[in-house]
Amino acid sequence: MLKEGMSLKETADEIASVKGNVKGDAINLHAAYVRKMEGDDGLRKVEEKLKELGYPLEFAKVNKFEWYPIYLADLVILVSKEVFNWSDEDIFRMGKESVKHSFIFRLLLSHTLSVEKLFKSTSYMWKRYFDYGDIEPVKMEEDHILVRMKEYKVHPLVCQHYYPGYFLTLVKICLPDKKITIKETKCFFKGDPYHEYKIEWS
Ligand SMILES: [Zn+2]
């Protein structure tokens, strides 16, 4: 079990047992963000740290269409946070920015711009990206949507800070003139059976 105060190495070894894969595109997004914020030098520092931890990864060789372990993609976020001393807020921003470089983003721009369609297609999009779990659209009201993320068990930093940024941007694309807020209302790491997000606009 993940515990407060675990070292990065202990955390890496713990999350490495979590099953599930993600498309390399996700890793490319993390790498693009690190390069934008910290330059090529920064990216090399992340590669060095991953190697030191026993989970080597060469960003230049990552194929966006191939599957990679989900823990490895999330480890890139955890390592970046430690190496650059980023805050939780920085990880939220990383999620917000990253989505703009994803193929989901391009897909959205080319297919639909309505929040209704986004809401209904979350599961379809999830399955293009992940080979486990799901996103379940729970409720759609005039000023908010509620979605559940199932089977994500890697690390709370990612579900509590990275994904909220990511989801917020997806809704923002559909509602560019609205003020959007997001709250994780339920969390697997707080004892709930899934993660639940309420995304509101005004
Ligand atoms: Zn969570």
Judge if pTM exceeds 0.85: yes
Cα 1 to averaged position of ligand 1 atoms, centre (Å): 15
Which pLDDT band holds residue 112 (cuts at 50, 70, 90)?
Answer: low
Contact residues for 201 (Cβ-Cβ < 8 A; gap 6+): 143, 144, 171, 175, 178, 179, 180, 181
Residues that place a CB less than 5 A from ion ligand 1: 159, 187, 195
In this predicted model, what pLDDT tens digit does every residue of 173-196 receive, in sequence order? 889 899 999 999 999 999 999 999
pLDDT at res. 190: 97
Q: How many CB atoms lie within 10 A of CB 83?
A: 17
CATH superfamily ID and name for 98-201: H-NOX domain (3.90.1520.10)
Domain ranges of the chain: 8-94, 98-201
pLDDT at 5: 86
pLDDT in tens, 121-178: 888 888 888 999 999 999 999 999 999 999 999 999 999 999 999 999 989 988 989 9
